[in-house]
Amino acid sequence: AGGEAAGPFAGLPLGVKDLENAAGFVTTKGSRLYRDNRVDFDDAHVARLKAAGAIIVGKTNTPEFGHIPFTDNELFGSTLNPWNLERTPGGSSGGSSAALASGMVPLATASDGGGSIRIPACYTGLYGLKPSQGRTPIAPRPMPTWLSISCYGPLTRSVRDAAIYLDVVAGPDPRDPESLPAPDISYAETLEEPLPKLRIAFNETLGVTTVQRDVLREVRAAAEAFADMGHDIVETDDTIPEMGGWWARVSAFQSLGQEWDNFSTRHDEFTRRYIRQLDRALEVGPSDFQEFLRRRGELVSWTAGLFEEYDLLLTPTLPTEAFAPAGPIPREIEGEQANAIAYTYPFNFTGHPAASVPAGLTDAGLPCGLQIVGPRHRDDLVLRASYAYEQARPFPALPREPFASV
């Protein structure tokens, strides 16, 4: 009204994940401990979305402290998948993915510390990008997140929406010493630039998990889209170094530090599931930290070597289709061991950008995803490859269209 240019999200309803802060709203973190935690400030990325014109209409559900790959807590119960109400939309950004896929909102925030953007994207037929570590600032921080694995990123109905989102939220914040300089390009404006011929690795299992047959069928067909575009696809069977239980132990230790006062005085208000995680932290010792650091170094070296030889890595996003809303997480497929987050968590530890694009539908009519991983700081390449894929294989129609769109 005052002659100011409207932002790219002018007037669009925005859902904010309930691990993130928005002034005037309660940030429960999915926990009874924080049921009355009304805040008077915005996290940096939320402030940037508001400055771009988005209007916050509410918070989206998350598991307690975002620590599991499905969305269920004792405050609000289970979030359901719009594709099938007897399945989970994933986690920990499952409230956002359900809101987007159901048409409730055209825009929602998400974060990823082990797959929490890509998992919900996969299970609900959306696009999800975990940016390079530091691309989007984490500010203000209550304490240093010394694992340096979590980031905010786009979970959207299209690749273009994600590129616009990243244009808005990317860039440094003086309160986050790990935040990267502002990108020197617009992700949205360069989205349609033709890709050079790429050398792309495709790895079905990373050597660490079994994959559901119909998921693998759809993922292989999706990967072939890049061959049809003229790129070189090389099937590899390399085994990725595992962080596994070492990550779980050290992550639990950090969680215990963040909630130590509450753990000591309000123990009964945590869920039993989360208490089990915190109890594990009490057993962590110096040797665990040393082994964690050694294994992380091996993983970083392995990934660096991969991208000396290839431009992109393709994998399934997840080894199974969506499971029941409150779990359990599948541990076996046809009698073989399965690791639910085998494909997603490694790239949080290496800092590489990684996206999930819809690959197709399983025999049960549920979405599955193809993961596209790029070199460090090449968010632009991952977005352009995702966009080219989207043009070649339009994403499946979602259960409902939103009443407003980006």
Q: Is 262 helix (H, G, I), strand (E, B) or coil?
A: helix
- Higher-pLDDT residue of 268 and 370 is 370
Residue 64 pLDDT class (50, 70, 90 cuts): very high
Report pLDDT digits (tens) over 248-276.
888 888 888 888 888 888 888 888 888 88
- pLDDT of 272: 84
How much of the chain exceeds pLDDT 70, in percent?
A: 97
Give one word for 90, left, alpha or beta, with left for phi > 0 and alpha for psi -120 to 50: left
What average pLDDT is seen over the chain? 94
Give the phi and the psi of residue 156 in degrees, each rounded to 5.
-140, 175
Element (H or E) spanning 372, and its range?
strand 367-373
pLDDT bin (cut points 50, 70, 90) of residue 391 is very high
What was the pLDDT predicted at 403?
63
Residue 247 has pLDDT above 90, yes or no: no
How far apart are the C-alpha atoms of 302 and 203, rounded to whole Å?
14
pLDDT 10s digits, 102-141:
999 999 999 999 999 999 999 999 999 999 999 999 999 7
How many residues are listed for the chain in this entry?
406
Question: What residues does each domain of the chain span?
Answer: 13-239+296-392
CA dist., res. 347 & res. 267, Å (int): 33
CA distance 34 to 61: 13
Q: What angle do CA 193, 378, 242 make, to 5 degrees?
A: 140
Q: How far apart are the first and last CA of the chain?
A: 20
pLDDT of residue 249: 81
Q: List the catalytic residues.
A: 17, 92, 116
pLDDT of residue 5: 66
Using DSSP's 3-state secondary structure scheme, residue 212 falls into coil
- Beta sheet of 354-361, edge-to-edge order: 55-60, 13-17, 107-112, 151-156, 127-130, 354-361, 367-373, 312-316, 199-203, 232-236
* Fold (CATH) for 13-239+296-392: Amidase signature (AS) enzymes (3.90.1300)
- Maximum distance among all alpha carbons in the chain? 65
